[in-house]
Structure 1
Amino acid sequence: MQLALKNVTKTYPNGVKALDHIDLTIEPGMFGLLGPNGAGKSTLMRTIATLQKPDEGELHLGDINILKQKMELRKVLGYLPQQFGVYPKMSAEKLLHYFADLKGIGNKMEKKKIVDYALEVTNLTDVKDKHVAGYSGGMKQRFGIAQLLLNNPKLIIVDEPTAGLDPAERHRFLNVLREIGTNNIVILSTHIVDDVKELCNDMAILNGGKILSKMNPVNAVEDLNGKIWTTVTNREGEEQLSKELNVISSSFNQDNSLNVRVYSEEKPNQNFQSVQADLNDVYFVHLKQDEPSLQPNS
Structure 2
Amino acid sequence: MKLVIKDLTKTYKNGVKAIDNLNIEIGTGMFGLLGPNGAGKSSLMRTIATLQSPDSGSITFGEINVLEDKMALRKVLGYLPQSFGVYPKMSAEALLDYFATLKGVSSKSERQALVNEVLEITNLYDVRKKNVAGYSGGMKQRFGIAQLLLNNPKLIIVDEPTAGLDPAERHRFLNVLREVGTNCTVIFSTHIVEDVKELCNEMAILNGGRILKQSTPSKARAELVGKIWTKVIDRDDLEANEAKYNILSSNYNEDNSLNIRVYANAQPDDDFKASEPQLDDVYFIALKQDEPVLS
TM tier, smaller: over 0.9
* Residue identity in the other structure for 1:136: S
* Residue 50 (structure 1) aligned with residue 64 (structure 2): no
* Residue identity in the other structure for 1:271: D
Partner of 1:284: 284
Partner of 1:143: 143
| Cα distance in 2 for residues equivalent to 1:6 and 1:78 | 22
| Cα distance in 1 for residues equivalent to 2:207 and 2:243 | 23
Q: Using structure 1 for the length normalisation, give the TM-score.
A: 0.97
Partner of 2:229: 229
* Residue identity in the other structure for 2:33: L
Partner of 2:2: 2
* Residue 72 (structure 1) aligned with residue 72 (structure 2): yes
Q: Which runs of 5+ in 2 are unaligned?
A: none
Total equivalences in the alignment: 295
Partner of 1:93: 93
The within-5 A match list for 1:235-254 is 235-254=235-254
Q: Using structure 2 for the length normalisation, give the TM-score.
A: 0.98
* Residue 259 (structure 1) aligned with residue 259 (structure 2): yes
Q: Which runs of 5+ in 1 are unaligned?
A: none
Partner of 2:16: 16
| Cα distance in 1 for residues equivalent to 2:117 and 2:129 | 15
| Cα distance in 2 for residues equivalent to 1:237 and 1:260 | 11
Name the SS for the 1:236 alignment partner: helix
| Cα distance in 2 for residues equivalent to 1:77 and 1:241 | 49
Name the SS for the 1:293 alignment partner: coil
Name the SS for the 1:292 alignment partner: coil
C-alpha deviation, 1:236, in angstroms: 3.3
| Cα distance in 2 for residues equivalent to 1:246 and 1:179 | 39
* Residue 59 (structure 1) aligned with residue 59 (structure 2): yes
C-alpha deviation, 1:133, in angstroms: 0.4
Cα shift readout 1:117-175 (whole Å, capped 9, x = no counterpart): 10000000000000000000000000000000000000000000000000000000000
C-alpha deviation, 1:239, in angstroms: 1.3
Name the SS for the 2:223 alignment partner: helix
C-alpha deviation, 1:291, in angstroms: 1.0
C-alpha deviation, 1:252, in angstroms: 1.5
Identity %: 67
